[in-house]
Amino acid sequence: MTRRFRYAVAGCLAAATMLGAYAVGTDGSASAATGASGLYGYSIQDQKDFSTYVKLASTGGSRTLRMVVPWASVQPTKSAYNWSFFDATVGIAADDHQRMLLVVGQSPSWASGVSTSLPNWEWYPPKDPSTYGTFVHAVLLRYGATGSYWTSHPSVPKSPVVGIEVWNEPNLKDFWESGPNPSAYAKLVIAAYNATRTTPQVAPIVAGSLAPIGGYNDANCDGTGDGGVSSRGVNQVNFVERMYAAGAHGYFDALSVHPYNFWRNATAAQMLTYNKCSAWSEMYQTPVNIRRLMAAQGDGAKKTWITEAGAPTCVARATYQCVSEAEQAKLATAEVAAWKSCAWAGNYYWYDLRDDSSTSPTWFSDQEHHFGVAHANNAHKPVWQALKTAFG
């Protein structure tokens, strides 16, 4: 959902192979003996042929889909809601027995105070976190376990949301346009959590949605102490540390990460290698890591979710960072197996489901067009079958 950069990733399975069976420690480390529990599926986007699109996921073993609820579109004014577009989306997913993780993001102008004439205006945070909480409350009243959507559409198989994810990649400037701010994000998390506790539609609040940015206190991975801050954003471990300092403890049910790692012609084995600047390693292997921070705050029993993972594939004349289709498939197999070996691992979402159209003017230069498990014509890449097998 944003441009990816090169960082090394180490897999739990690789660690399990090297270290043998190991138990869950007080630092939240992984356990090969017990393994993960969670749903497996895809992080997806809106498409014109949404029914066909979702079939790619459901026939490929998916049980859950992650998608942004566009707050700006659903509530364009403070007093009005328009659920029609998203009702159709939820209905199609439910017909294919997919439970949805809803990413609540994209502030309306009235909430952010930002003009719609500004680039990327929807990804400015709301001025008042309570407006975000109010919208989360409305989303759950609509799509929660006994939400109004299900009662008004009795022919649709009931498939209540599997969780609410608070924003997307708030540690990146691309998605927190006013400049990443862990304290401000913590307030958004608190508002969302409190909103779920004031309705009968309680759903897990998933905080984080964190993108990979360098290493702890070294966002540029150049060995200089920069506090984990770069021009792109804030390192994920530094961000979590500051979230907790701002009072986020007790206000979320799981923490999510996006451990991308790829570069030109990388192999799966290379991508699954420990590195101090690896988003995967920073989950539980580096000296200061997310699992250790969670355990220190009394959150060691909570799960970590991967809500985006993957790698783009190369096309002829590509100028972007990419891997071969064969290595993309090997990565999927190894990464899901590694994830399942971690006792603290929750839901897992591969990004993306389908490549964009080759008619795009940036087809050869923008990796965002090429993360799919299928080509734009719906023909499967090898990774589609690899994930179907891995998801089990």
- What are the boundaries of each domain within the chain? 12-391
**Hey, what are 304's tokens?**
């970590």
Q: Tell which phi-psi region holds residue 337, choosing left (phi > 0), alpha (psi between -120 and 50) or beta.
A: alpha
Residue 79: count other Cβ atoms within 10 Å of its Cβ.
Answer: 6
Q: pTM of the full predicted structure?
A: 0.92
Residue 141 confidence (pLDDT) above 80 = yes
CATH code given to domain 12-391: 3.20.20.80
| Longest distance between any two alpha carbons in the chain, whole Å | 59
pLDDT above 90 as % of the chain: 86
133, exposed or middle or buried, with CB in 10 Å at 0-12, 13-18, 19+? buried
Does residue 360 contact residue 369 with C-beta atoms inside 8 Å?
yes
- Taking alpha carbons only, the member of 128, 125, 203 closest to residue 171 is 125
Does residue 62 contact residue 354 with C-beta atoms inside 8 Å?
no
**Hey, what are 225's tokens?**
């102490």
pLDDT, average across residues 6-24 = 38
Task: State the Cα–Cα distance between residues 262 and 270, nearest whole angstrom.
Answer: 9
- Taking alpha carbons only, the member of 158, 248, 142 closest to residue 194 is 248
Q: To 10 degrees, the CA torsion angle through 43, 47, 52, 56?
A: -20
Residues sharing a CB contact under 8 Å with residue 250, sequence separation 6 or more, in sequence order? none
Do β-strands 99-105 and 64-70 pair in parallel, antiparallel, or remain unpaired? parallel
Residue 32 confidence (pLDDT) above 50 = no
Q: What is the DSSP letter of 24?
A: -
Tell me which of 185-199, 230-244, 321-335 is least confident.
185-199
Task: State the Cα–Cα distance between residues 102 and 104, nearest whole angstrom.
Answer: 6
334-365 pLDDT, tens digit each: 999 999 999 999 999 999 999 999 999 999 99
End-to-end Cα distance, the chain: 26
pLDDT value at residue 20: 33
The owner of tokens 């691309």 is 174
Banded pLDDT at 70 (limits 50, 70, 90): very high
Length in residues, the chain: 392
Please, what sign has the CA dihedral across residues 55, 59, 4, 72? Answer: positive
Q: What is the 3-state secondary structure (H, E, C) of 41-70?
A: EEECCCCCCHHHHHHHHHCCCCCEEEEEEE
CA Rg value for the chain? 20
Does residue 305 contact residue 347 with C-beta atoms inside 8 Å?
yes
Tell me which of 7-16, 308-317, 345-354 is least confident.
7-16
278-288 pLDDT, tens digit each: 898 899 999 99
How does the average pLDDT of the chain come out, rounded? 91
- Taking alpha carbons only, the member of 344, 172, 188, 168 closest to residue 252 is 188
